[in-house]
Structure 1
């Protein structure tokens, strides 16, 4: 096969789909050229002429394999005699409900039209019971037509990579005479592409078109979540489904200072300084939390540190004041401090234990020298936990700022000042008492 020169399909990106289907140039009218991005030298073009566009199967080493099915929805046609149904694209929650290509007046047996036959065949593969069966399953690449420059045609938005969860046969209304016809509707799970920056590499599809590539070899180029689905099956879809919340998640390497940097040395110094001195670290964590919350423009009152035992899972207590008088309110802040090795990950369970102690009108703050796992952050965002996460890198950043402002840049002097100069009470008072001060 020729050398691939194509690129990436990015979720949310609008592509110019020109009638000429020329892969050159790379951009047309200010938009990436769809035919350039999906170009496979010496092979037929990827098309979106129909709603359901199944690429021709190839006779690969492991048996017949369909490289991909490209689906296009045309919202501007919804509700018309030609397309009386309405497809649903809920990209935020990783779900698409897509209607097949059977229409009123057709005499073909339902399920045998070109598009439905391709999707029903893909559905069989998506229900594979073993990794080997799922390895040959057909990826769905979903697009929807968007209007640009007042024209409903000629531009498509890439909406993601999908797996069919369910295929349902149903009766639909169609035509001016309100006749009925049988069609299929498909519930499709959009796969999470966080690890690929919301992109699908066309090189993967290109490899699936290569008759010399085994299923396993082609799978090496697939997005991580797709490989996980192949390995574990549909039981893994809940955790592999696209969620917009994941866009708010910070990858673990991004939470840590660059190896060998001044920040990395500072973090190691902080960890070693407080290793085995849990209660001393709580004082520093409380001071850092106060700086972060005040930095957001809020009025924050530092309260107290809890006693070494019987603290109910809270290490420090504070109060966040919003507004004033009748136009104001106060929130109890419950803080957790965790001094761990910088390469340690804080889990979802650890965060959940703090959240479980929060009452209505309370928020949490978790301060650590480590980092937060991706599942922990995802659960926090999706479940809308009222908690602020401060990782090791942010901790050092705030302490450096405090040192710069008040101690001539001397980090150790700053830490010592926090430990000796602050008059923070250590008590076992109930957190809600902070509202009375």
Structure 2
């Protein structure tokens, strides 16, 4: 059984290449993790390391191309280019191995030849061709204990999206030269816990296994890419924001459970009078934000027509004293929809468009939020709090338990009759004056 490479993990790459110890100098041993008994070692000596091809029954395939970037060498005679690793957004821009002193055509250097061959397969229109395509495993050298060498960080698995010939400047030789640059999409490894099993590469090295059979140990995103091609890459690209995204089914109560029945009760209560849901949304927001330990003041409900993306207004007070204090305007949107409905990115953007500096938004719904809406919120760093149907039920149930012996209908009746919030067209910033 091979080891596992974890994205962001730093591995010791020692010159002795001894695979026996699992750790060296406090770090996992690269040669232990990538050890394949009876086979040649996986190496990172060059920037581009194409593993020897395997001849299987369904064709010749390269098991993997290992890529290493050395940021500390960028701009030197050995490495006159500057690679870009944007792991959060799943993109790497990597320069080939042609140099100013090379006497062969740019595409025929060992590294460029391997990547251009891989690029053709990565752009292949058929699933059968993509089955033979080599995955790229990307690493970058990182300094440890004041030394720039001997440690590498695993950065993920990639597919080449574009290859371009570029003219570069060699400062040392004071001349220009032609090279290739590759735009690489890092695939999402969330399903594997941001890890890759080396067993996958071992399987791709096994000439007794067809390329299709090796997919059994491949990451889920790689399998989908093989099946669907590059049109799937926008959905399969690694995004750190995805770790903060909750699938819609996980935002909904279990079917036929007590939470589902209570959520349906809330929805049915406001069916036909959804404008009254704003008062409940305001009360739930107050309960949630007061738990942060900050002062919270409910303001008012907006006019039913022309609310411009806001249903209620409140104020969040932070700090204490005269100088160590500030207040934020809270702009709330309430949306009573069927519990299986999704709130889209456009609906959230409508609220965000109203926010000014020093304001935050709150969106309260009986439905759930689409993955696209959540990704946009996280990636664009929207200052907005999302309350889905399941969270809404939890808060209303707790209020009912505390003050109404668990009777949800009595709790909602009390909130609507006693909230005391006026309905007005006042400007949101006026709440800062109260």
Q: TM-score range by the shorter chain?
A: 0.7 to 0.9
- TM-score norm. by structure 2 comes to 0.85
Q: Residue by residue, what CA displacement relative to the aligned partner does 1:99-132 show, whole Å, maximum 9, x if unpaired?
A: 2122332322322121111011111112222333
Distance change in 2, residues 1:241/1:351 (3 Å)? same
**8 Å contact kept, 1:191–1:241:** yes
1: CA distance, partners of 2:182 / 2:53? 21
Is 1:194 paired with 2:187?
A: no
Distance change in 2, residues 1:35/1:340 (3 Å)? farther
2: CA distance, partners of 1:45 / 1:200? 18
Counting only pairs closer than 5 Å after superposition, residues 22-421 of structure 1 correspond to structure 2 as 22-174=18-170, 176-252=172-248, 255=251, 265-277=258-270, 278-279=274-275, 281-305=277-301, 314-322=310-318, 328-341=326-339, 344-356=341-353, 358=355, 362-399=359-396, 401-402=398-399, 406-407=402-403, 410=406, 412=408, 415-416=411-412, 418-419=414-415
Aligned length: 428
SS in structure 2 at match of 1:111? helix
Larger mean Cα displacement after TM superposition, 208-217 or 49-58? 208-217
2: CA distance, partners of 1:431 / 1:194? 44
Larger mean Cα displacement after TM superposition, 211-220 or 152-161? 211-220
**8 Å contact kept, 2:160–2:184:** yes
Q: How much does 1:281 deviate?
A: 4.4
**8 Å contact kept, 2:132–2:211:** yes
1: CA distance, partners of 2:429 / 2:105? 72
SS in structure 2 at match of 1:328? strand
Q: Residue by residue, what CA displacement relative to the aligned partner does 1:314-357 show, whole Å, maximum 9, x if unpaired?
A: 4433333456878634414122233533x554333443344455
2: CA distance, partners of 1:267 / 1:108? 68
Larger mean Cα displacement after TM superposition, 320-329 or 200-209? 320-329
2: CA distance, partners of 1:354 / 1:224? 36
Q: How much does 1:378 deviate?
A: 0.5
Q: How much does 1:367 deviate?
A: 2.0
Q: How much does 1:433 deviate?
A: 7.2
Distance change in 2, residues 1:248/1:116 (3 Å)? same
2: CA distance, partners of 1:49 / 1:168? 24
Q: How much does 1:391 deviate?
A: 2.5
Distance change in 2, residues 1:83/1:311 (3 Å)? closer
**8 Å contact kept, 2:157–2:186:** yes
Larger mean Cα displacement after TM superposition, 67-76 or 372-381? 372-381
RMSD: 3.3
Q: How much does 1:51 deviate?
A: 0.9
Q: Residue by residue, what CA displacement relative to the aligned partner does 1:59-89 show, whole Å, maximum 9, x if unpaired?
A: 2333211121110111222232222222222
SS in structure 2 at match of 1:128? coil
1: CA distance, partners of 2:65 / 2:41? 13
In the alignment, structure 1 segments of 5+ residues that lack a partner are none
Distance change in 2, residues 1:85/1:356 (3 Å)? closer
SS in structure 2 at match of 1:71? strand
Q: How much does 1:33 deviate?
A: 2.1
1: CA distance, partners of 2:11 / 2:414? 55
2: CA distance, partners of 1:184 / 1:198? 29
In the alignment, structure 2 segments of 5+ residues that lack a partner are none
Q: Residue by residue, what CA displacement relative to the aligned partner does 1:252-294 show, whole Å, maximum 9, x if unpaired?
A: 565456789xxx6245323334425245544332211112222
2: CA distance, partners of 1:355 / 1:184? 42
Q: How much does 1:50 deviate?
A: 1.3
1: CA distance, partners of 2:56 / 2:411? 64
